Amino acid sequence: MIKPKALFVCIGNSCRSQMAEGFARALQGSRYEIFSAGSRPAGVVNPLAIEVMKENGIDIATHRSKSTRQVPQERYEVVVTMGCGDACPHLPSKYRLDWQIPDPVGQPIESFRKVRDLVEHEIKDLFLNLEKLERTGHP
């Protein structure tokens, strides 16, 4: 069975989209193929993002920062962008969302924790709504 794909995109693919990928894999990895990418990838996952995700029991230390050209160039079930506006290239998808989540880069660890918690909340809502859409055709 082919799993639907979900892609999370931010500018650097070092924090927000990496956190989203981590939560999505932990919560829905058996049902979806999960990817993250950046419009201008930083090349590394931010150590503070790794640290705060580990606090929630999710290890993203093996993730790598990549561009949108380095993920499958296929139609996604859902593409979620985070704060990159026009810098996020359009990738074909059934659903496209833009989450206004601040970039914690350069901020203290508490900012990373706040972003992590916001991303976790959004991920849970996203997959709950996708399940409702699959069952009823309405969110």
> What is the CB neighbour count within 10 angstroms for residue 18?
27
> Among residues 84, 101, 119, 126, which one is catalytic?
84
Q: Is 15 a catalytic residue?
A: no
Task: Read off the amino acid at residue 41.
Answer: P
Q: Find the helix or strand (DSSP H, E) in which 117 lies.
A: helix 109-136
80 pairs with which residues across the strands? Answer: 8, 97
> Among residues 7, 9, 10, 91, which one is catalytic?
10
Q: Is 88 a catalytic residue?
A: yes
> Among residues 82, 88, 119, 126, which one is catalytic?
88
6 pairs with which residues across the strands? Answer: 34, 78
As annotated, the active-site residues are 10, 84, 88
